[in-house]
Amino acid sequence: MLQVLNPATEEPVATVPAATPADVDAAVARAAAAQRGWAAAAPADRARLLRRFAAVVDDHVEELARLEVTEAGHTIGNARWEAGNVRDLLDFSAGGVERLNGRQIPVAGGLDVTILEPLGVVGVIAPWNFPMPIAAWATAPALAAGNAVLLKPAETTPLTALRLAELALEAGLPEGLFQVLPGTGPVAGNALVEHPGVAKIVFTGSTGVGKSIMAKCAGQVKRLTLELGGKSPNIVFADADLEAAAAATPMSFLDNSGQDCCARTRILVQRSVYDRFMELLTPAIEEIVVGDPADERTQMGPLISRAQLDRVRSYVPDDLPGIRGKAPEGPGFWFPPTVLTGLSEDAPCAVEEVFGPVAVVLPFEDEADAIRLANATEYGLSGSIWTRDVGRALRASRAVRAGNLSVNSHSSVRYWTPFGGYQQSGLGRELGPDALTAFTETKNVFISTEA
């Protein structure tokens, strides 16, 4: 059994059965049977059911949000957005069902066409940091493309996934088409990865685990999408609107208590404006409201678990210089907003993914130095560039090796634009106009017209 704790109180809130390899095997068989009928259904019928699923989710947004607050410690505002994002992804994907087009390619002596066919059964291994939306990033387009989905949520956050599976049935999706398999990574996750009846794995999580999954998929030449770690830069040039950049910086790495692969945890500031930027940033950090995630006024909640709290603490000894905000004392996995200064550019906090509310400020001299620092990690997921110079914004956007960049903002993820990383931040792309094609195979058919 898996025990789910409320990270704000450390109190148990639920226990759920943990899937075994036999459970996974039975789920794959059910999914394969359901997928054949789903793929054969008229595209308009699949789209209609997915839109109905979206409508049912919309009816339960508040319920799903409260569940997310309880199991993940997300602020209620964020949790409402996340439930709404599931709804929007289902709607967006439903719109792509009838536009999953092949091509007609000119050839001599006949007609050549391509057909996009579903893969079959897709395994989705979702993380605990954004349990609902990241699960939906793969589930919605995979279903829309005609596949069945087996979702393994993180051990600590299975409740919203289980509820979504119930809502799918309520909306009329076929039994067995979308199943949730709570369990541990080494048991349920591994069984899903190694099962020959699973055509593709979509994994979001740590780079180390992603590499292990990639190696296991290689043995079967199994399709794979990975969204892994990040250590993203927030580059502030001297000509930027410093007030706007400083005001936006706190939530660029404190959103979801810093448990975000896109968190801008490396704040790179041009040396000539470093002191002024820090004067502006200090009160912005100190004023962040950390507390009960169910309170509408709260800006940052707890970390997910004791293990994660211990990990973050290991990176931040008390004697490190910087800015520290406030956090509750007593029960709960609390860590204050923290900005570290005076560290070397190769310090562990400056290059490793802490996955908590901790950022490092590093000065740079000029544009070339900023790009060098921005690219000085093994990751390449996201980043921000603050400047009033359009030419510099374009040059820097080209030079920073990351899959998702923002200029004069911290926005990274929209369900209608592509998302994914460079280097060890991942493999493949999710979301955007091509999301459905990532769950298809392209078949080429030549038809001779010659007698």
DSSP assignment of 318-345 equals TTS-EEE-----SSS-----EEE-S--T
User: How many CA atoms within 13 Å lie on the side-chain side of 188?
Assistant: 26
Neighbours of 244 (CB within 10 A): 13
Per the annotation, the verdict on 349 as an active-site residue is: no
Q: Give alpha helix (H) positions in 179-266.
A: 190-194, 207-218, 242-254
Q: What distances in angstroms separate CA 338 from CA 230, 246, 357, one per listed residue?
A: 18, 15, 6
Q: Which residue, among 404, 411, 416, 342, has the nearest Cα to 379 in the 3D structure?
A: 404
Helices (runs of H) and strands (runs of E) counted in the chain: 14, 18
How far, in whole angstroms, is CA 387 from its chain's centroid?
27
HSE-CB for 139 with a 13 A CA cutoff: 33
| CA–CA dist 377, 351 (Å, integer) | 6
Burial (CB count within 10 angstroms: exposed 0-12, middle 13-18, buried 19+), residue 367: middle
Distance of CA 239 to the CA centre of its chain: 32
Contacts for 127 with CB less than 8 Å, ≥ 6 apart: 134, 154, 204, 205
Catalytic status, residue 261: yes
According to DSSP, the residues that pair with 442 across neighbouring strands are 116
Residue that is written with structure tokens 């994994």 in the block? 203
DSSP H or E segment with residue 377: none
Q: Under a CB-based contact definition with an 8 Å cutoff, are residues 259 and 303 in contact?
A: yes
Q: Which one is catalytic: 227, 262, 349, 353? A: 227
List 261, 262, 349, 353, catalytic entry? 261
Catalytic residues: 227, 261
